[in-house]
Amino acid sequence: MSGLEKIADNLAFGGRQQQWLHNSEALSCRMRFSVYLPPAAEHSKLPWLLWLSGLTCTDENFSHKAGAQRLAAELGVALVMPDTSPRGEGVADDSAYDLGQGAGFYVNAEREPWRGHYRMYDYVSQELPALLRRHFPLNGRCAIAGHSMGGHGALVCAIRRPQDYVSASAFSPICQPTQAPWGRKAFAAYLGNDETAWAEWDASLLLAERGCPLPLRVDIGLADAFLAEQLRPDALQQAARRGDTRLELHRHAGYDHSYYFVASFIDQHLRFHARHLLA
């Protein structure tokens, strides 16, 4: 049983901004997610965008800060926002902000003490979508997007499971985590010290090896303090060129890593996805 429980429901642009709890088998804990259902959801099943948030975030950051509901209501596209990691008593954690609860990295952990709960890839790519299709007015057309760590997760999901999505996009993604301090720390903890195993979770390496048939969009702020050391978008661009992948890489002068950046360009991302979701 999913143990699905609604804990918040607010009217927004004629639709419903909701927050839910359920029992996750993949993560062995109670999980929270948010969903925005446009007005059209009252009479039909809608296409939807799965949004993956970044380090330290929860399911609420995007719904509170991005300002996506207005255009989502106009387009008739639902928004789904899971939490970034398992949480709760008995779930492994770390005192650092970039490991443990709030920093699940959308991988399937293989090492203790993480492996019992930290299977975020299985959760966002399989368990949560199945639950959503059972209980919400969503159809089979899904796009995926995210920010920072969540941008990494969105790209990895799209490359590994292109059959599940019509398009993918990312703001400020960690494009080559095997070569970035955030990624190397998380991968060593969750996956172990064998770096050859990390390649399955690196968007740039995956794209170079497999290519991706989906249209991809990535936006980067050139004033992002993490750009050179952590994000490494040039690696993703080079991988896309080798694999003849349709990648739109947009660089924006003056913008940083914050949700001010996300809010500034979220309409462009929603319209990018709507072209494919509503085709």
Catalytically annotated residues: 148, 224, 257
User: DSSP secondary-structure letter at 248?
Assistant: E
181: CB partners within 8 A, 6+ apart = 229, 230
Cα-based distances in Å from 163 to 82, 175, 214: 21, 21, 9
CA 245 remoteness from chain centre: 20
Query: By C-alpha distance, which of 125, 81, 120, 124 is closest to 103?
Result: 120
Q: Note whether 167 and 272 are within 8 A (CB).
A: yes
| CA gyration radius, the chain | 17
How far apart CA 151 and CA 175 sit, in angstroms, is 8
For the chain, give the number of residues.
279
